[in-house]
Every structure is written in structure tokens, then in C-alpha cells.
Amino acid sequence: MRMSRHVERRTFLKAAGASLAGVGLTAAGCGAGSGSSGGPVTIRYAWWGADDRAEKINRTIALFEKKHPKIKVKTDFQQYGDFWKKFNTQAAGGNPPDVFQNAVGFLRKYDAKRVLLDLGPQAKKGNLDLANFRAGLEKFGEIDGKLLGVPVGSNSMGYIIDERVYEKAGVTPETGWTWEDWDDALIRIHDKAGRAGDSGPHGVMYLYDLILRQNGKAFFTENGLGFTESDLVPYWTEAMKRVKSGLYADPKKVEQIKPKSALAQGLAGGEFTWDNFTARYTAEGDSSYAIAPIPTTDGKRTAQYLGSLMLSGSARTKHPAEVATFISFMVHDPEAGRIMGYDRGVLSTTEQFEAFRPTDPVSKKIAAYEQQIADAGVLEPITPHPAGADVVEAAFLRIAGDMSLGKAPVEDSVKQFFTEAKTALDS
């Protein structure tokens, strides 16, 4: 998830909320044929991420073009927020990239705007291979009987910690630790390691979703929000107390170091995010990082689920067969899997999963973590993501950030969030 890193998402203010009212794509003529006359075909491929991801993707594209010399791939990438700003502009102008990186929170939104290509027909024609996906991931991008995305990897929420800081504080997170245990850890890190215990998790929608799920609710239902103002007020009130006490990192300093993370820059001892971002923290920081278990309410249920980045096609593409061929290569080719590693999550197909045997410590940690939660049986079905979920996520992050900086009190911030969420989900 479907879900990029929340540090990147802090830059995603109004980007995902940009209106696509003017898109008005019609199904007629969109993706009706390959558009190929036997000569070279060029498709445009766009994604979000950092330079290290771009380097790996460019290597896989070179491999693809070598094996498919009649298909050329033109690339484009930006940071998370900038990507969606540009994508919205392109989609509104009827010219989105042929194939692009996507996440579950965007599927219903862009399907409703007729932006996404149904890849199901291409699978039936043999241009897209849907065999050998791990854990049923081939179904992850299905919405209302249409295949709108194909997963490139799987990941789950984890608590990434600075191992040196936790060792200095004398804290060892273990499976089944509770939120009370986590609270105690924040205090010990603050007092013994001289650092904020956490970067400030109260704007991370996917974390709050887990907390709600542990308590019998969820962030979303099929049609709207699954919680109320009376749920959010105490959560954000407690968060502000921790900001003021120094248990959460100084929001002003966190702002100053963006897009880098507070954890990697030594401002905090831990940060809730997707497990595969352990690799990025290791690249950014100068410490050793581990994936700790998600704290629980009852010592048992973490309420976790698998998320995934995926590849989607444009309904406007003139080359649906080539798009499907490209996607199929990117999720099945063993060498492409060895190149990408776990950059976008644990590889989604058995061909790539078996081809990439991690030797570096970080990838081994990610693989071990996903194996651990799978063996523990804690994984559950993903929370629904209605149309407008991406705008709601952006609002949750932005409003929590503004609140942390003292721009609005808790009660006003909560009301603002519910007002914006209602507008996004009703539109």
C-alpha cells in the first residue's frame, strides 16, 4: 500500500487532492489495441522514489529493452508528493504515463476517473502472467472485478529502531510487547540515551489504522471513515503531550531535515513505517537499524496486513499489450528481481523471490521480519480503501503536522480533519 514511506508523504500536502474533475476520460478508444505496426514502440514509465531506486529501475529497464528490442521505455521519477502532482496534471490533460507505480489507496479514485487500464484482458491474451504470486498477491490490485494493478512486492508496517540507541537505553522489543511497554521504552530512551523516543507517529494513517483495528475498529470502511472524533481527540491529545515533553522529536527539527527521516538523522530512537524502508534508513543514517514488532493492545493481535506497491497501466495508452508485457517482465524476470531486491518490498512472485537471496544484513532483516509475522499468523485482510482515501491520508498527515507545530489546537485539528475527510470521501 499500499502504501510509500510516511516521511516522503509529509511533502504530499495538497498534491493528491488536486482535482481530476476535468479528466472526463471515456472508455471508447482507450487502450483498445496495441497501436504497434511492427516497428519500435515507446512507452512511458513513471514512479516515485529516491535516487537509489531510480538506479535500480534503470538497470531493469536496460535488461527489458535488451530482451524486448521492439519496446523502448522512457522514464520519469520524482519524490512522492511531486510525483502525484505531476501525475494529476498529466491525467487531467489526458496524457498520463503508459505505466506507473501505484498503491492501493489510489485504485478506486483513479478507476472512478477512468484513468486506469483493466489489465485482465491482457492476462487472458497471454501478455501478462498472473501465475506464481506469493500469498495471493495477484488479487491485491483487483477492484470490482477489474485488475487495476500488479504487485511488485509486499511489505507490512514495522517499528524501525536505532539498535545502538535501544541498547544504550537497555530496551529489547519482543513479540507481544504492549503499547504500555512501548511508552516505557520512549521514556527510557529519552532519559538514558538523550534522544526522543519516536519521530512522532500521530500523522501516520497506517499506524493509526492498526491501533484502531486492535480495538475493533478501522481507519476506513468500504464507504467512509471507521472511527469518530471521540476516538481521534484523545489520540492526538496524548501525542501533543509527548511532543511537548520531548518523547517525540522536535517537529521544527523534523521539518528542517525533510525529506530525510528523523530516525536516520539521529533525532529519534524509532519510527513506524513500512518494513522495506529499513534499507533507506541504513543508506541515510550512520547507525544500525532493526525492525521491531508492532506493539499490541492485548499482547497478541498486531492487526497487521500486507501492503504492496504495484504497477498500473493507463486507460489512455495506445500500447496496452506492450504495457502488459513490460509489467509481466518486471514482476517475473529473475534477473530484474535480483537487481531490485527488496527496494519496493519482498518480491511478489516466486521466480523473483527465489532468485534474490539476500546477502546484505538489511535485506536479511526485512526477509526475516516478513517470515516472522507470516509464521506467527498475525496477518489479516487489508483495510478497505474507498475512493478519496489518498486525499484523506494526505489530510491526516498534514493536519497532524500543523498541529505539532502549534498552528492549531487538538480539537480544531480534529474537526478540520473530519471536515476535509468528508469532502474527499463524498466527492
383 occurs within a structural domain: no
Distance in angstroms (rounded) separating the CA atoms of residues 310 and 312: 7
314, 116 Cβ separation under 8 angstroms: yes
Q: What is the pLDDT along the chain (427 residues), one digit of tens a residue?
A: 333 334 333 333 333 333 333 333 333 334 444 444 467 999 999 999 988 899 999 999 999 999 999 999 999 999 888 999 999 999 999 999 999 999 988 999 899 999 999 999 999 999 999 999 987 889 889 988 999 999 999 899 999 999 999 999 999 999 999 999 999 999 999 999 999 999 999 999 999 999 999 999 999 998 899 999 999 999 999 999 999 999 999 999 999 998 889 999 999 999 999 998 898 899 899 999 999 999 999 999 999 998 889 999 999 999 999 999 999 999 999 999 999 998 898 999 999 999 998 888 998 999 899 889 988 889 998 888 998 998 999 999 999 999 999 999 999 999 999 999 999 999 7
41 occurs within a structural domain: yes
Helix then strand then coil, in percent of the chain rounded to 5, is 45, 15, 40
Angle at CA of residue 176, ends 175 and 178, nearest 5°: 125
427 occurs within a structural domain: no
Cis peptide upstream of residue 358 (ω within 30 degrees of 0):
no
Three-class DSSP category at 290: strand
Q: Can you read off the three cell numbers belonging to residue 347?
A: 518480491
Enumerate residues 6+ apart whose C-beta is below 8 A from 124: none
Range of 93's domain?
6-18+31-154+308-376
pLDDT at 134: 86
197, 272 Cβ separation under 8 angstroms: no
114 occurs within a structural domain: yes
Candidates 147, 143, 87; CA nearest to 119 is: 147
Cβ burial of 65 (10 Å; 0-12, 13-18, 19+) is middle
Q: What are phi and psi of 137, to 5 degrees?
A: -65, -20
Cell 520519469, residue?
Answer: 76
220, 210 Cβ separation under 8 angstroms: no
Q: In what order do the strands lie in the sheet with 71-78?
A: 71-78, 41-48, 99-103, 309-313, 150-151
pLDDT at 223: 85
60 occurs within a structural domain: yes
Rounded to an integer, what is the distance from CA 378 to the centroid of its chain? 20
237 occurs within a structural domain: no
364 occurs within a structural domain: yes
- CATH number, domain of 112, equals 3.40.190.10
330, 162 Cβ separation under 8 angstroms: no
Q: Provide the terminal-to-terminal Cα distance of the chain, rounded to the nearest Å.
A: 22
State the total domains in the chain. Answer: 1
pLDDT at 38: 61
- The whole-model pTM stands at 0.78
Cα-Cα-Cα-Cα dihedral sign, residues 212, 214, 216, 221: positive
12 occurs within a structural domain: yes
